[in-house]
Chain A
Amino acid sequence: ETGVTQTPRHLVMGMTNKKSLKCEQHLGHNAMYWYKQSAKKPLELMFVYNFKEQTENNSVPSRFSPECPNSSHLFLHLHTLQPEDSALYLCASSQAGANVLTFGAGSRLTVL
């Protein structure tokens, strides 16, 4: 595996479900990010982790809960989501403090 890998690629869940998105990077980076991409809107930064520590939470609702057990893995735990949370969730990684991000292919989430 190379680059940034995200699973699952597609997820459909009800509003009462609990699910998780997973991201793994094989680039030796030490910063990881979650972005939300909705139709016709700029990418929205959700969370930033540097060396496993959360350094940014962009006012994200608590129904999204990130977890970064090590510099190579990042999770986004989802619970009690709303239909408007349906979007493409992109994971990215970089060297800490660097501007250039490498993105995964994304997880397409649909909340019914």
Chain B
Amino acid sequence: GQQLNQSPQSMFIQEGEDVSMNCTSSSIFNTWLWYKQDPGEGPVLLIALYKAGELTSNGRLTAQFGITRKDSFLNISASIPSDVGIYFCAGPEETSGSRLTFGEGTQLTVNP
């Protein structure tokens, strides 16, 4: 199956700093999804991207669908303590539109 390489694996930042993480694939994706998982909870969808080059914001979060369709970026501006959690990228596999491939996640820690 397809694989997603997500980086960095973990980040330790100070409150107020901006954050950037990315996801790359060896295969073309038609959709990129970004989820956040709070401790002890399930993943929650943050942003969905459907078109190459698309740039979408959700509050302090901004995500972009790479032009090559093989990568995506998520930026968080002015981080706050509640941004702590694991951020996952995901995309549908080519052979099954409903079967998602997930990245390994980026663990974000925000120090007050």
Binding site for B on A (CB under 8 A): 4, 6, 31, 40-43, 45, 48, 50, 56, 90, 92, 94, 96-106
Contact = CB atoms under 8 A, between A and B. Distances in A.
A96 B98 contact: yes
Interface of B: 4, 31, 33, 35, 40-45, 48, 88, 91-92, 96-105
Contacts of B44: 103
Given A31-B98, A43-B43, A106-B41, 5 more contacts: A42-B88, A97-B97, A99-B92, A100-B48, A104-B42
A4 B44 CA distance: 11
A104 B44 CA distance: 9
B98 A90 contact: no
B42 A99 contact: no
Contact of A41 (B4, B92, B101, B104): B104
Most buried by A among B42, B44, B99, B100: B42
Given A42-B4, A42-B104, A43-B88, A103 B98 contact: no
Contacts of A94: 98
A92 B105 CA distance: 18
Contacts of A104: 42
A16 to B, nearest CB: 28
A20 to B, nearest CB: 19
Nearest to B92: A99
B39 to A, nearest CB: 11
B45 A102 contact: yes
A100 B46 CA distance: 11
A90 B43 contact: yes
29 contacts: A4-B42, A6-B42, A31-B98, A42-B4, A42-B103, A42-B105, A43-B43, A43-B102, A45-B100, A48-B98, A48-B99, A50-B98, A56-B99, A90-B42, A92-B42, A98-B98, A99-B31, A99-B33, A99-B92, A99-B100, A100-B33, A100-B45, A100-B48, A101-B45, A103-B42, A103-B44, A105-B41, A106-B41, A106-B42
